[in-house]
Amino acid sequence: MEILANERMFTVLETALDNSTDYQEAVKAERKAYKKLKKTNLNDRQKALLDRVIDTSNHSNSIYGTIAYSQGFQDGMKLLSELKEIF
């Protein structure tokens, strides 16, 4: 089951993201915000701190997404199993 979940997360998901207008718009907005940030006059210490905040936020969001996807997959498998018992 884990192999199937990984296959879906890391191949099929990429295709879905490529085809998602919402995701593409979010990535575009992220790049635009980053370009604006680069034009600010933050000193090296402030830049390092901001990078750390962004990195830790991205990391926790990545873990959250992986766990949420896995939980949804497990819930779907459980539902299929329960439906199989009913029918």
Q: Tens digit of pLDDT for each residue in 24-61?
A: 999 999 999 999 988 999 999 999 999 999 999 999 99
User: Which tops the pLDDT comparison, 85 or 32?
Assistant: 32
Cα 61 to the center of its chain, rounded Å: 6
User: CA–CA separation, 9 vs 69, rounded Å?
Assistant: 8
8: pLDDT strictly greater than 70 = no
10 and 69 Cβ atoms separated by less than 8 Å? no
Read off the DSSP letter of residue 10.
I
In the predicted model, what is the mean pLDDT of the chain? 89
Cα 68 to the center of its chain, rounded Å: 10
Look up residue 63 and give its two tokens: 């873990």
Look up residue 20 and give its two tokens: 């998602």
The confidence score (pLDDT) of residue 36 equals: 93
